[in-house]
Amino acid sequence: MQRYFVPMESFTESSVTITGDDFHHIVRVMRMETGDTVIVVQPGGQAAVAEIKTITDDAVLADVIEWTKEEKELPVRLSIASGLPKGDKLEYIVQKGTELGAFSFFPFQAARSVVKWDEKKAGKKTERLQKIAKEAAEQSHRTVVPVVNEPVTLSGLIERAQDYDYKLIAFEESAKQGETAKLASTLKVIKPGQSILFVFGPEGGITEKELDKLVEAGFTACGLGPRILRTETAPLYALAAVSYHLELLG
C-alpha cells in the first residue's frame, strides 16, 4: 500500500487532505481513484489507513479507516555525518541510509572535501536531499523521515555531537590495523532509545588533525572490517551492522 507523510495540519479527527507533490503522485503517477486506500503518516510517526473519498483539482480527501501500530524504526537513533563527497554520492548515502534506518544526516566540510557548498547552493541541495529522504522513507515503509541538516564545519559537528550518547569515527588506519572491537563493543552496551553519531570522511578519509580534534571531543575511532570501503559504502555498512546486531539478533 502506498505511503505518504502528511503535515499535521492536514489531518482532522477522522480525515486527511493530501496536496502538493503527494497529490500529484496519487493522481498522475499511481492513478488512484475513489475507494482506493493509502497509508498516511503524521510527523510524530502515527500511521493510519485512509480511503480516498474525493479527488479535486488540487487535493485528495480521504477518510481515516484505522490507526495502525508499526515498529519500523531502529531501536537506537543513528545519525550519519558525511564529509562532503563528490558528485551525487551524498544523494546515494541519504537514499540508502534512509532505507537502512538512519535517524538524521549531517554533511560537513572536511579537510579533504573537494566540493564546496556556498550558502545559496547549500539551501537548494539540502532541500533536494530532504525530498530524497522523504521518498526513501515512504518506499521503505518507515514511520519517520530522517532530517537532512545543512552542511556544518567540523567545529559545528563537534558542537552538535554533545547531544549523542556514543560518538564513533570510521577511520581507515584503524581498519588497516585490523581493529574490529570498538563498533562491536559499542553495540553490546548501547540501550534502546540511546543515540550514536557516526562520522565518515570524504574521498581520502579523515585527516590526522581532524581525528585528533574528534577524539579530544569524545569520539572513538573504529575500523569497519578488513576491507577499505568507499565514502558512500561505509555508512551503509555501519547501518547494516547496527540493524543486524540490535534487530535480527534481538
Give the pLDDT confidence of 210-224 residue by residue, as tens digits: 999 999 999 999 989
| Residues contacting residue 155 through CB under 8 Å, at least 6 positions apart | none
78 to each of 37, 68, 83, 97, how far by Cα in Å?
Answer: 32, 25, 16, 10
Instruction: Quote the cell numbers at residue 79.
Output: 545519525
pLDDT in tens, 68-124: 988 899 999 999 999 999 999 999 999 999 999 999 999 999 999 998 888 778 889
Residues in the chain: 250
Nearest to 109 by CA among 75, 83, 130, 85: 83
Delineate the domains of the chain, giving CATH numbers in brackets: 3-68 (2.40.240.20), 77-248 (3.40.1280.10)
Residue 63 Cα distances to 9, 13, 17, 25, 51, angstroms:
15, 10, 9, 18, 5
What distance in Å separates the CA atoms of residue 144 and residue 5, rounded to the nearest whole number?
A: 8
Instruction: Convert the pLDDT of each residue in 175-226 to its tens digit.
Output: 556 556 889 999 999 999 999 999 999 999 999 999 999 999 999 999 898 8
What is the pLDDT confidence band of residue 173, given thresholds at 50, 70 and 90? confident
- pLDDT, one tens digit per residue, over 133-163 is 999 999 999 999 999 999 999 999 999 999 9
Closest CA to 205 of 178, 246, 171, 239: 171
